[in-house]
Amino acid sequence: MTVLTTRSGCAACGALATHTAPFSSHWRRVHPSEDRSSVRLREVPDPPVCEYHWEAFLHREAVPIGWCVDCEAYGTLGTASPCGGRFESF
């Protein structure tokens, strides 16, 4: 179990995150800093989750976490990301 030591928001709902989600793959699509028009894979940390979504992961329930390739960030699946894109399934 990974417990967060800094305060952040849950990637699924925005509530206070207490853990990091145990995804089986840490590889996400990102843009190389030197060429924003291309996409490559990079290993990224597990997303922060609140106690509710941590329990959902433990019980293998669906958790609405998405990834924005442009922001290179996790967020609530299907919602707008900070760059104006959408958090998509990965």
Whether 65 contacts 20, CB under 8 Å: no
Q: What is the pLDDT of residue 40?
A: 87
pTM value is 0.77
For residues 79 and 12, give the distance between their C-alpha atoms in angstroms, rounded to a whole number. Answer: 10
For residues 39 and 47, give the distance between their C-alpha atoms in angstroms, rounded to a whole number. Answer: 20
Q: What is the pLDDT of residue 7?
A: 57
Q: What is the pLDDT of residue 38?
A: 85
User: pLDDT by residue (tens digit) across 37-75?
Assistant: 788 888 988 999 999 999 999 998 989 999 998 888 999
